[in-house]
Amino acid sequence: MTDSLLLIADRGAVRTITLNRPDKLNALNRATIAALHEAFLAAQKAESVRCIILTGAGPKAFVAGADISEFAGLPPITARDFSLAGQKAFRAIETLGKPVLAAVNGFCLGGGMELAMACSLRIAADTARFGQPEVNLGIIPGFGGTQRLPRLVGRSAALELCLTGTPINAERAYQLGIVSKVVPAANLMSEVEALADQLAAAAPLALRGILDAVVYGEDMPLEIGLDYESQCFGLLTSTDDMREGTRAFMEKRKAIFQGK
């Protein structure tokens, strides 16, 4: 499926969603945010899709930020609604129950960095640049940056990025834990696709259990989070995938998981 905003393609159990506004450095406007939300909800419902790759069209940008021409001059209530729409769409990605890999191929700034942080994992080209430069526009991050970034890198580094608005390179992003791997730009998609294939072959219900336990558990007190983990663990022991996984281990063969 293609349209003017997104390119969507399936390769086996892996779906790739590409933001398709390269002339705008894939900047996020309201229409693009709505399209992303719809596309990820569709991926969630599609049983054949086990892993999603998110990237940006063109060689320059993953997403260079929110579309300034769209939100500049908005009245406060409308601006708040714009922020809430982005937060809702990104939260849907974060709580999808399927792994989402951000292939960061260039500028990943402002709303783009907030979008990447909502993904399960981020792999960056060595040419990528990261930052929360909203302070330079006289505003703050509005799509979750002030909340996800401290959880990802700690308060001090998050405040440094948000207060100064200074972008960082991919290697610094790796050192801070924003990305899990940095690769040559020419190898980015092959590296991400290899990881996506690995995840797509894993037990889908176990992946969902891990994602749920981490995403929801990090906001719980430790004792409640531990209890939630135990409940997920107990439920998974009753699945066909668990029986297949343990049987394959005993038989020294590769497990074939069905998501049941």
Residues noted as catalytic: 114, 134
Place of tokens 């302070």: 135
Tokens encoding 215: 């995403």
Residues 6+ apart with CB under 8 A from 53: 14, 15, 16, 17, 100, 101, 103, 192, 193, 196
Beta strand 168-169 pairing with 129-131: antiparallel
What whole-number distance in Å separates Cα of residue 146 and Cα of residue 184? 29
User: CB of 117 within 8 A of CB of 149?
Assistant: yes
